[in-house]
Chain A
Amino acid sequence: MLWGSNARETHPIFFHHVLKAVRKGARLYVVDPRRTASAEWAEGWLPVNVGADVALANGIAHAILAEGLEHKGFIANATEDVDAYKALVARYDLARVARLTGVAPEMIQRVARDYAKAERAMICWTLGITEHHNAVDNVLSLINLCLLTGHVGKWGSGCNPLRGQNNVQGGGDSGALPHKLPGFQDVEDDAIRARYDALWGRTIPPKKGWHLTEMFEAMEHGHLRALFVLGENPAQSEADATRTRRLLGGLEFLLVQDIFLTRTAEMADVVLPGSASFCEAEGTVTNSERRVQRVRKSIEPPGNAKDDIEILCALSKRLGYDLALPNAKAAWDELRELSPMHHGMSYERLEALGGIQWPCPDESHPGSPFLHGRLWETPVRGMKARFHPAEDVPPVEALDDEFPLRLTTGRRLDSYNTGVQSGGYASPRRMQETVDLSPADMRSLGLADGERVRVVSRRGAVVAPARVDPGLKPGLVFMTLHFPDQVDVNLLTIDATDPRSGTAEFKAAAVRVEKV
């Protein structure tokens, strides 16, 4: 099941694996408000209303329980709090869920049966799940389905967020999180921190830091006055761009390290020219299946640009601490020393095995193709997996007469995020930004294909050509964030944020569309 993911366009080579499986008889269901290129390959498309994912997941659980298709043995052995979950989903009968989600009761029932009865089943999701004000509830609702059916901790089963960037997994794994040290070790755990203090000869701060959203809040309140941005373009990628730029502009000091003079870099007091990690530097990246793989230098960076490690070490030295890490391998070996799950991954082994999936605790360990296998042991070692009942909560911004259309944002095959990378090649298929509308809305607004329209939300307005997309339901508007210099779609989006994940509701803004 692909849920809130258009992998055919955004993870094309992952989707090759899906297609191989489909051709061998695997069954594919796609949950998406849009009938995407991925949905066209599915035997069932569930056209969920934007933001109704929790309701749909609860409805599927309701149907599974109604027919007694849950995995009773797994639930009893490996999970907790199933009774609270059952009590909650009892209230999500199919008639109600169909009303909330826009998905036919028959389809919900069919998916419930196929998912629960499958020998192996996977749920993969992306930003359609996580770019919501209740992102964590969305994720937990999908995990609940995995636990209910026992589709976890086994080869070919599980719940899997498809990562959107080549090293977003590796960044988190290696401690680029405000509350974790490398290997997801808790920064507030004194014993763990003591190992770092000993190795580095310094005391590291005992309290967790801020995530991105909290940083912007801290800027708002004047608690954060200096910012160091590496390889990120928040001036264009954050929701509610007007506010973002005001806050970045109000900093006392903004330092940006990037390979381009991005919109964010243009606002900086100092810009440090870094290098492109995939071809101008050595190192590792970690993909969506936790596979650590080597990146290698193949070209020289331009002009005065330097290797990022060199810049960071030089900066650290001037700040009074000599990191003494001359190269990527030394940094990696230090990480291996501190992070048990990376310990067995020497450069030599990464080379020989073509990448290794963590956890890999020692140099004889082959790596781990899947996680949570312990849940099938009797009795379960360690913590049981807990059901987290979650209620349906609609998007923060309700539709009304003034803003009657639902804007959802996403991505296209040949472009990437704010276009900083993908703008550098001439894709013959690239359209500039469009305002995609359903045929019915095009008609009722009296629009011709290609006619320029103004899209207005409570926060801003943009102008772009209208484009008819028969894959959209009436009431749904789709735009991308690929061309912010021409059409700044994040002027429209809302920064309503899930406090637990820090991710804004890029997928659900209320807008109206007007003739220009």
Chain B
Amino acid sequence: MSESKRTIELTIDGRKTSVPEGSTLLQACQGLAIDVPTFCWAENLTPVNVCRICVVELEGARTLVPACSRKAEAGMVVQTESERVKLSRKLVLELLGSSVDMSLASEFQALATKYDAHPERFGPRAPRAAPGEREAARAGHHYAEDGEHAANVAQPKKVDNELFVRDYAKCMLCYKCVEACGTDAQNTFAIAVAGRGFDARIATELEAPLPDSACVFCGNCVGVCPTGALMFKAESDVREKGEWDESRQTVTDTICPYCGVGCQLTLRVQANQILRVTSPADHSVTSGHLCIKGRFGWGFVQGKKP
């Protein structure tokens, strides 16, 4: 039962537009078909505005503002591709690209090219952290870098269950997994950001392995992860064997075979093997979120004996 809302008028890139009160600048841009890049934003999550790639220039504002969460106000004048915006996005891309493995983040390469970002200028990557090293970091304890290498979050994969793996070398701390595990969807609160500064990381309580944590394995964190840090075990295994081949894959929408809620599933299949199950963020039943059975419970059609 939506009540009629007031309309807000503003100017974006020299074009006048009007949006319903409460809309974000990102929504206003989308209405004008202006492309604003995002990493940490998703239509089914509350904006946390941490990645800063969506910043735009707002006339009269001291700092650039995140389009994903800044509400449109009457009379705003916004530039989405000013020199200041471009420089800021370039810096964000370079910092992310030098410290995080963004190889599976969709659009990252295209954006790096567009904004002339050169993450490699910070030098070769520092060696990968030993198992447990990053988890052992304590707030306030810092060690000077050698100045030769780019600091980064490279670390071993965490494989502690048969459903999904956690490759935090690819984690850009966008908070999407925390949001999906928390109030935005699952309300299980198995994970949060632990540590401070460069040591900040996604962690379970007391760094427990997932099976010993509060995790209920809905995989909603996997569903929203933009960088491949969280990945179906089935997909990860195929990628590790070097057999991942999107040209041989099909993507098919269907309905979950379990309870009567009717969640839409999107099955990604290669060589008759299901490798990934997601749900569209705009589906009226799921809002993109599933439970353990819907997301992972398809082994029974893949020759896995009950």
Contact = CB atoms under 8 A, between A and B. Distances in A.
B262 A166 contact: yes
A7 to B, nearest CB: 9
A178 interface: no
B301 A280 contact: yes
A295 interface: yes
Interface string A145-167: 00000000001000000111111
A13 B216 contact: no
Contacts of A302: 303
B18 interface: no
A16 B297 contact: no
A427 B293 CA distance: 9
A289 B263 CA distance: 12
A276 B301 CA distance: 7
A291 B262 contact: yes
Given A169-B260, A423-B306, A278 B162 contact: no
A277 B289 CA distance: 22
Nearest to A162: B260
Contact of B301 (A169, A296, A299): A299
Interface stretch (B123-131, B149-157, B248-256): B248-256
Contacts of A260: 300, 306
B109 interface: no
Interface string B1-31: 1000000000000000000000000000000
Interface string A408-425: 000001101001111111
B210 interface: yes
Contacts of A299: 267, 269, 272-274, 301
Contacts of A169: 260
Contacts of A43: none
Interface string A276-307: 11111000011111010111111110100000
A428 B211 contact: yes
Contacts of B218: 12
Interface string B239-275: 0000000000010111111111111110101001110
B161 interface: yes
Interface in B265-306: 265, 267, 269, 272-274, 283-287, 289-294, 296-306
Interface stretch (B78-86, B183-191, B195-203): B183-191
B300 A13 contact: no
A475 interface: no
B135 to A, nearest CB: 20
B163 interface: yes
B217 interface: yes
A466 to B, nearest CB: 22
Contacts of B287: 16
B263 to A, nearest CB: 5
Given A299-B274, A428-B162, A13 B296 contact: no
B260 A19 contact: no
A288 B290 contact: no
B257 A421 contact: yes
Given A276-B301, A291-B285, A413 B255 contact: no
Contacts of A14: 261
Nearest to A286: B262
A168 interface: yes
B163 A428 contact: yes
A421 B262 contact: no
A162 B260 CA distance: 7
A166 B217 contact: no
Given A16-B186, A298-B250, A166 B283 contact: no
A12 B265 CA distance: 15
Nearest to A280: B301
Contacts of A419: 306
Contacts of A416: 258-259, 293, 297
Interface of A: 10-14, 16, 19, 23, 41, 155, 162-169, 259-260, 276-280, 285-289, 291, 293-300, 302, 354-355, 413-414, 416, 419-429
Which 10 A-B pairs give the minimum distances between C-beta atoms?
Answer: A287-B262, A163-B260, A423-B306, A424-B300, A424-B299, A12-B291, A298-B252, A426-B162, A428-B211, A278-B257
Interface of B: 1, 161-163, 183, 185-187, 210-211, 215-218, 250, 252-265, 267, 269, 272-274, 283-287, 289-294, 296-306
Given A297-B252, A298-B252, A354-B283, 5 more contacts: A260-B300, A279-B274, A279-B301, A291-B285, A429-B211
